[in-house]
Amino acid sequence: MDSLPYYLQTVVNGILAGCIYALFAMGLTLIYGVLNFVNFAHGELIMWGAYFLYLAMAEPFALPLYAAVPLALGMTALLGAAMDFALFKPLRKANRLTLLIAAIGLSFFLRNAAQLFWGAQVRTYGFEIRQGYRWLGVSLTPQQLAIIAISLICICGVYLLFFKSRMGKSMRALADNLDLARISGIHTGKVILSAWIISSLLAGVGGILMALDTNLNPEMGVVNLIKAFAATLIGGVGNLWGALIGGLIIGLAENIAVLFISPGYKDAVAFVIMVIILLARPYVVTDKRTD
Amino acid sequence: MKRFALIVSVFSLLACFSVAPLWAAENVKIGAAFALSGSIAVYGEGFKKCVDLAVEEINAKGGINGKKIEIVYEDNKSNPKDCVSAVRKLITVDKVPVLFGPAGSSNFMAAAPVAQESKVVMLSAQGTAEKLTQAGPFIFRIIPSNSKQGQRLAKLAFELGYRQLPVMYINNDWGLDLKDGFVTSFKKMGGVVTDIIPFDEKKTDYRTELLRANKDNPKAIVNLTYINEGAVQFKQAFEMGVKTQWLCGSAARAPKMVELAGKAAEGVMGTYPSVIQDTKEYKTFKAAYQKKYGDDKIPIFGDYNYDMVYLTTRAIEKGGYTAEGIRAALPAAAKGYKGVTGDKTFDENRGMEHADIGIWIVKGGKIEDHKK
């Protein structure tokens, strides 16, 4: 057995999966940090992001990729903002259970809406498939390189925005204490809107990358969101770096595990890690933030 | 007033039931718990058409020893709960000794214990799940089970010269059935299964599973997969540079899979249960169907339903019109019987001994029958 490339490829696969999970988890954790609730409809932003691109590239628009992507991302951001405006804004002062149930309801609504529109069947952007580049026995396709590169760009962008800009500072202030932030003169409405837009953009980018790499179906969001939840919990809810690291841990762990245990238990790996972390660091699910 | 209405309706109902046997006494009644409403009603209608056709033919030829066959249809509403009610009604109210069970393996398996406990023969013309007939000796099926396909796949692998290969399968009842069928037969023939890799439905990333399957660059990989999962897998395998002969089951045999996977699906092969259509029996059936209904689009599993009526008739003729008689006579009545859907001999599990399994291959972006 040519062992080195075999394991190297597994690590690369793990990083690829991890990047996608991290993009999802970061958007999820951002909304949690600012608004203090878990947006169960995040998976639908992922899915709609991918479908918006499909819409823009299909007839009658038939836009080229470079024009369609910004349009799709813009529409995803708009959807995120609309979600907040229509549902979460009126519930801003509601308790967390209400928000949770509202988000789950919204998730079903958006998923079924997509099914109504495009049907439940699987779709593809229709790009010609190509063999990956080979390097040290590891194969990588252009899409996969793009996943890694764009994830890195997004992570850096979010970092700069969150820790180096005024907006990020306001977001962090809001996350610490909404009322205090408001009386300190922070325009909370604007900050919350920005958080939704960034979260939606991250979801849209992740969804599009994933769909470019594989296919589109109305359930693509939900399936991967569960992993993103696990990643968020591992990293500490509300913690951006934690989401990134959590995503990578899960991606790597489940892929490496596939080599040794029956792949039927692939999903279990992520959740076993999650449970262990929760037991070892019980404060991550309380209101205490870990950053 | 309400009470009066209730009494009247109860009495009228009783009257109906007590009168029914009077005018139906001459007929041989067979129950049919079919899906006439609900999610799979579109199938149920087709089954009914073919059952009616067979009954009409048999009655025109004098029925069973001069008695006419009468099918008592009962709507099973396409769900397991109402399937049980429908079967129970046929057994207790209509008192049929034999009935045609619901379509859908899970529906059928929900109702099978009821028939078994009441010692009434129940037959399936659609259920392919391996455990379909395990409720007991009164439960029969006349369609090959999933494992038959697995056996044929093992034979195909041998015919193509593959002696060592890994097996991937989708982690559900269908995948498990087929995997077990394949692995058992392949090992019996002397083949070596190098690895067994279950995978979950609806995932987007199967790269590491594929990597593991392709570890020693096997010449062939058995992949018992669905349309979407198969498309993702073949695509990802192609990107990874996996060069192997894929051997699949029937669930991947769909133009959609080829559309999604594009050139990565080229050359993929697999098995599927097929009914050989250029036999004398099939042609006669098709012509009769066309004559009665005006179109030649045979409903899915319609041919099996047609055979089911003839087999039951033979068993009644042989064993008499009692449940025990039919149960005991069925295997002998079916032995060597050539129906529309081929040889109907039962095996020891009251399933089909023989199965006509076809081979499909993707060629030039189209799914074709593989010719040796």
Do B227 and B364 have their domain in common? yes
Q: Which of B198, B212, B232 sits opposite A259 (nearest CB)?
A: B212
Q: Is B236 touching A (CB cutoff 8 A)? A: yes
Q: How far apart are CA A236 and CA A28, in angstroms?
A: 12
Check CB contact of B208 with chain A, cutoff 8 Å: yes
Give the relative orientation of helices A266-280 and A220-235 as an angle to the nearest 10 degrees. 30
Question: B139 and B188 share a domain?
Answer: no
Average pLDDT over residues A44-49: 95
Bridging pattern class, strands B269-273 and B245-248:
parallel
Cβ distance A210 to B204 less than 8 Å, yes or no, reads yes
Instruction: Evaluate whether residue B33 is within a structural domain.
Output: yes
- Are residues A10 and B211, on separate chains, in Cβ contact within 8 Å? yes
Q: Is the pLDDT of residue A250 over 60?
A: yes
Q: Is the peptide bond before A60 cis (omega within 30 degrees of 0)?
A: yes
Model pLDDT, residue B1: 53
Which pLDDT score is estimated for B301? 87
Question: How would you class B176 by CB atoms within 10 Å of its CB: exposed for 0-12, middle for 13-18, buried for 19 or more?
Answer: middle
* Segment of A46-55, A182-191, A231-240, B253-262 carrying the highest mean pLDDT: A46-55
pLDDT digits (tens, 9 = 90+) for B311-368: 999 999 999 999 999 999 999 999 999 999 999 999 999 999 888 888 999 999 888 8
Average pLDDT over residues A63-67: 91
When divided into structural domains, chain B yields a total of 2
Tell me if B213 is assigned to some domain. Answer: yes
- Band of pLDDT at residue B20, cut at 50, 70 and 90: very low
Domain check: are B219 and B362 in the same one? Answer: yes
Residues of B numbered 267-286 whose beta carbons fall under 8 angstroms of chain A's beta carbons: which are they?
none
Whether residue A109 has pLDDT greater than 90? yes
Which residues, in sequence order, are bridge partners of residue A133?
A: A140
Confidence of residue B8 (pLDDT cuts 50, 70, 90): low
- Distance from the A157 Cα atom to the nearest Cα atom in chain B, whole angstroms: 26
A4 touches chain B (CB under 8 A): no
- Report the percent of chain B where pLDDT is more than 70: 93
A17 touches chain B (CB under 8 A): yes
Tell me the chain A residues in contact with residue B216 when contact means C-beta distances shorter than 8 Å: 1
Q: Residue B114: inside a domain, yes or no? A: yes
Q: Which residue has the higher pLDDT, A78 or A118?
A: A78
> Distance between CA atoms of B273 and B257, rounded to whole angstroms?
18
User: Would an 8 Å CB–CB cutoff place B26 in contact with chain A?
Assistant: no
**Amino acid at site B3:** R
Contact B299, B45 (CB under 8 A): yes
Tell me what pLDDT residue B4 has.
59
Report whether pLDDT(B2) > 80: no
Token look-up 């992922």 returns A46
Q: Which residue of A has its CA nearest to B237?
A: A131
B260 at interface of A, judged by CB pairs closer than 8 A: yes
Please tell me if residue A188 touches chain B, with a CB cutoff of 8 Å: no
Residues B237, B314 share a domain: no
The CATH number of the domain holding residue B264 is 3.40.50.2300
More confident position, A171 or B97? B97
Contacts of A134 in chain B (CB under 8 A): 241
For residues B154 and B252, state if they share a domain: yes
Shared domain for B267 and B152, answered yes or no, is yes
Q: Is B256 in the same domain as B123?
A: no
Is residue B284 assigned to a domain?
no
B123 in the same domain as B42: yes
Whether residue A214 and residue B262 make contact (CB cut-off 8 A), yes or no, is no
A133: contact with B, CB 8 A cutoff: no
Closest CA to B247 of B166, B334, B339, B306: B166
A213 interfacial to chain B (CB closer than 8 Å) = yes
For B236, which residue in chain A has the nearest alpha carbon? A214
Which chain B residue is nearest to residue A120, measuring alpha carbons?
B228
- Tell me: do B6 and B136 sit in the same domain: yes
Is A120 a residue whose pLDDT tops 80? no
- Average pLDDT rounded to a whole number, residues A72-92: 94
Q: How far is B253 from chain A (nearest CA, A)?
A: 15
**Does some domain include residue B91?**
yes
The question of ipTM being above 0.90 is answered as no
Does A10 sit within 8 Å of B200, measured CB to CB? no
* pLDDT score at A291: 43
- Whether residue A259 and residue B200 make contact (CB cut-off 8 A), yes or no, is no
pLDDT band (50, 70, 90) for residue B23: very low
Residue B211 has its nearest CB partner, among A9, A16, A134, at A9
Question: Would you place residue B309 in the very low, low, confident or very high pLDDT band (cuts 50, 70, 90)?
Answer: very high
Q: pLDDT-based confidence at B303, cuts 50/70/90?
A: very high
pLDDT level of residue B24 (50, 70, 90 thresholds): very low
Residue B240 resides in a domain:
yes
- Is the pLDDT reported for residue A290 higher than 70? no
User: A212 to chain B nearest CA, in Å?
Assistant: 11
Query: Which residues of chain B does A217 touch, with a Cβ-Cβ cutoff of 8 Å?
Result: 202, 228
User: Which runs of E-coded beta strand occur in chain B?
Assistant: 28-34, 69-75, 98-100, 121-124, 139-141, 164-170, 192-199, 220-224, 245-248, 269-273, 338-339, 342-343, 357-363, 366-369
Q: How far is CA A216 from the centre of its chain?
A: 16
B351 falls within a domain: no
In this complex, which of A6, A220, A224 lies closest to B215 when CB atoms are compared?
A6
pLDDT (average), residues B43-47: 87
Q: pLDDT of A206-231, one tens digit each?
A: 999 999 888 888 888 988 888 898 88
Looking at the fold, whether B127 and B158 belong to one and the same domain comes out as no
Return residues 220-279 of A near B (CB < 8 Å): 220, 223-224, 255-256, 258-259, 262-264, 266-267
Which residue range forms the structural domain that includes residue B89?
Answer: 2-143+301-340
- Disruptive mutation site among B169, B203, B208, B217 for chain A (greatest number of A CBs within 10 Å): B208
CB atoms within 10 A of CB B53: 20
Alpha-carbon distance of A220 to A126, in angstroms, equals 17
Q: Averaged over A102-125, what is the pLDDT?
A: 88
Mean pLDDT, to the nearest integer, of B209-213? 93
Q: What is the band of A289 on the pLDDT scale with cuts at 50, 70, 90? A: very low
Looking at CA atoms only, how far is residue A158 from chain B in angstroms? 26
Could you give the 3-state DSSP secondary structure of residue A177? Answer: coil
In tens, the pLDDT along B131-184 reads: 899 999 999 999 988 888 899 999 999 999 999 999 999 988 788 889 999 999
pLDDT of residue A287: 44
A-B contacts at Cβ under 8 angstroms? 95
Q: Judge: A215–B232 Cβ closer than 8 Å, yes or no.
A: yes
Is residue B21 located within the same domain as residue B133? yes
> Is residue B279 one of the residues assigned to a domain?
no
Contact by Cβ (8 Å): B248, B225: yes
CA distance B59 to B76: 26
Whether residue A70 is predicted with pLDDT greater than 80 in this model: the reply is: yes
Q: How far is B228 from chain A (nearest CA, A)?
A: 7
In CATH, what number does A3-118+139-285 get? Answer: 1.10.3470
> Tokens 């009935």 sit at which residue?
B99
Are the beta carbons of B236 and A266 separated by less than 8 Å? no
Q: Nearest chain A Cα to B169, which residue?
A: A264
In the predicted model, what is the mean pLDDT of chain B? 89
Percentage of chain B modeled with pLDDT above 90? 62
- At B28, give phi and psi (nearest 5°): -95, 110
A10 touches chain B (CB under 8 A): yes
Selecting from A1, A128, A264 the residue whose C-beta is nearest the C-beta of B215 gives: A1
Question: pLDDT category, B21, cuts 50, 70, 90?
Answer: very low
Closest by CA position to B310, among listed B56, B101, B128: B56
Task: Indicate the range of B190-194, B222-226, B251-255 predicted with least confidence.
Answer: B251-255
Q: Which chain B residues contact residue A15 at CB under 8 A?
A: none
